[in-house]
Amino acid sequence: MSAVATSTASATSGAAGYIGRIPVRNLWLLMLYASDLFRSGGTKAVALEDNPDDLPDLVAELLAHAVEERQRRRLSLGYRARDEVLNRVRGRIDVLRTERHQLLSRGLVACRFDELSIDTPRNRFVRAALESIASIVSRKDLVHRCRALANGMKAMGVSGQAPTRAQMSTDRFGRNDAEDRIMVAAAQLAFDLALPTEAAGANVLALPDREVAWVRRLFERAVGGFYAVTLSPQGWKVKCGGTLGWQIEDRTAGIDRILPSMRTDIVLDHPATGRRIVIDTKFNAIVTSGWYREETLRSGYVYQIYAYLRSQVGQGDPMADGASGLLLHPAVGETVDETVVIQGQRIRFATVDLAAGAGEVRQQLLRVVGEV
């Protein structure tokens, strides 16, 4: 299995760092669009989008500012489970442990209780994010600021190992700690900025996982996040990861077990005009070599977007009857923008040039849905 080393040096210096054939600078822009920080409308979201080359420094500054604001008002507290041997009863008695170690004879009792603490998974996650991003920012004053805040949180009692992403996915914001949203969103993006590149480094990532899984999901989430932020104020409803149903008239007993489901990447609905755009994102070249021609669209992708559109026609939904499809790829060597109408369904095949500047990437993403 081939593998590549990871490093952030070339990315932060503005050099030509790549993942596969995609410039690292534009992956940072995609990571911004895919992040909760962009969706939640942070105070510097526009500055981040306009300066993708300085993204680590800008995210670090936003994260540091959010942590400082929370420290002024005190970091959020939370309950954590503890098991302790005490000289008085607190919470519930661990009878088995108390009897096994004959604690009562020594005036002690084993207890299980919940303790209000500042050492919560959320605060540990933020502290670890400060330490992580301090290693890739370019400004020395910002490096010192992030490390000082991390050490300050440790002095307050925020210690221990940082929680995993799976553990953080169960974290919920209540009414009293809603102000933590920006801080946690910035921390998540700060962790994501440990990007793999083609430059030499100390860590090794497997090429197949990086190309097929991580980058493909990033591109899909970035396009969905971008449209959710930019089109929602114009009356569009953006749905990511929806499921479409087949028009089944009859079935055998075991077909449900083996019939594949249709899961769309992004669906844009505009109720005021009755428009619907079904978007399917792919992270590879839009054309490939064919049997009888040098270049051809990938037939499997064409069948897929066609099935998404035609399978929903005739069920009493005018938006589905007139829906358009968009198959969106990154530009690899050439730019493609072609449209075909099949049985009344307009399907567009387009690419977005991720090697372009942030403003041009934004305009391309808006243009491909505006003209559909």
Indicate the domain borders of the chain: 3-77+119-201, 78-117, 208-247+259-370
Q: What is the mean pLDDT of the chain?
A: 80
Dist. CA 141–CA 57, nearest whole Å = 11
- Decide if 89 contacts 109 (C-beta within 8 A): yes
For residue 136, give the nearest of 216, 55, 76, 219 by alpha carbon: 55
For the segment 74-79, the average pLDDT, to the nearest whole number, is 80
Q: Which fold has domain 208-247+259-370?
A: Trna Endonuclease; Chain: A, domain 1 (3.40.1350)
The burial class, CB within 10 Å (0-12 / 13-18 / 19+), for 108 is middle
pLDDT digits (tens, 9 = 90+) for 310-351: 999 988 899 999 999 999 998 877 889 999 999 989 999 999
336 — phi, psi (to 5°)?
-125, 135
CA angle 290, 286, 7 (to 5 degrees): 120
Asked if residue 57 lies in contact with residue 141, where contact means CB atoms within 8 angstroms, the answer is: no
Predicted confidence (pLDDT) per residue in 138-185, tens digit: 888 889 999 999 998 988 888 867 787 777 777 777 766 767 777 888
Q: For 131, list phi and psi in degrees, rounded to 5.
A: -70, -35
Between CA 17 and CA 56 the distance in angstroms is: 15
